[in-house]
């Protein structure tokens, strides 16, 4: 993940409600094995959402990556000197139901077009969003704006030298 990208995962609202009866403010995430694990598959399984419609919507926002696409995995990627956005979706090949859906929005992008497009998709499909710390958000920019502004990604974009200096002094830790 590039330092200027902000990660968010889609979480089906209906899956959270079926699991907990209410929408939690956060869910447990781990990095014990060196990888980010949120175990969101359980919410997707409870929701039972077919991938076709959502895939088509993402296709309208971003180009397909030229790698890693098959019947169980879809990847999207836009990479230029100005913008680096991506998304990925895992699908159960038998049931055709989504198991995971996440994206990384380039915070350098003018007007955050991709981020806003993904927020609109989440609203349209009654999804919530989760960051790398497990915090659950409604897909409204004003709800995630402060989290973005406090992220390493945003700090780096605002002042790369200060960010690297703070990182070397231990004032900032890698997210």
pLDDT in tens, 28-38: 887 777 667 77
57-65 long-range Cβ contacts below 8 angstroms, 24+ apart: 57/121, 57/124, 57/125, 58/87, 58/89, 58/118, 58/121, 61/87, 61/114, 61/117, 61/118, 61/121, 62/86, 62/87, 62/114
Q: Which CATH class is domain 5-141?
A: alpha beta
Residue 169 pLDDT > 70: yes
Residue 1 pLDDT > 90: no
pLDDT for 34 equals 67
Q: List helix spans (H) across 1-151.
A: 13-20, 41-47, 52-61, 113-124, 141-149
- Taking all residues of the chain, what is their mean pLDDT, rounded to a whole number? 92
Tell me the per-residue pLDDT of 118-148, one tens digit each, with 9 for 90 and over: 999 999 999 999 998 899 999 999 999 999 9
pLDDT for 85 equals 97
Tell me the per-residue pLDDT of 66-99, one tens digit each, with 9 for 90 and over: 888 888 999 999 989 899 999 999 999 899 999 9
Domain ranges of the chain: 5-141
Q: How far is CA 32 from the centre of its chain?
A: 20
Residue 23 pLDDT > 80: yes
pTM of the model: 0.91
From edge to edge, which strands make up the β-sheet containing 127-130? 73-79, 84-91, 98-106, 5-12, 127-130, 136-137
């Amino acid at each position: 993940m590039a330092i200027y990208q902000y990660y968010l995962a889609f979480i089906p609202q209906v899956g959270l409600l079926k699991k907990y009866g209410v929408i939690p403010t956060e869910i447990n995430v781990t990095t014990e094995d060196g990888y980010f694990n949120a175990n969101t598959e359980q919410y997707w399984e409870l929701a039972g959402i077919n991938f076709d419609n959502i895939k088509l919507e993402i296709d309208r926002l971003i180009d397909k990556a030229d790698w890693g696409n098959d019947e169980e995995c879809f990847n999207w990627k836009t990479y230029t000197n100005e913008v680096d956005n991506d998304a990925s979706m895992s699908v159960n090949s038998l049931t055709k139901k989504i198991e995971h859906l996440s994206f990384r929005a380039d915070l350098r992008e003018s007007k955050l077009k991709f981020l806003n497009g993904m927020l609109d998709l989440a609203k349209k499909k009654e999804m919530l969003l989760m960051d790398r710390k497990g915090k659950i958000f409604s897909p409204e920019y004003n709800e995630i704006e402060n989290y973005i502004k406090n992220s390493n990604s945003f700090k780096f974009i605002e002042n790369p030298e200060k960010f690297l200096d703070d990182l070397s002094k231990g004032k900032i830790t890698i997210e």
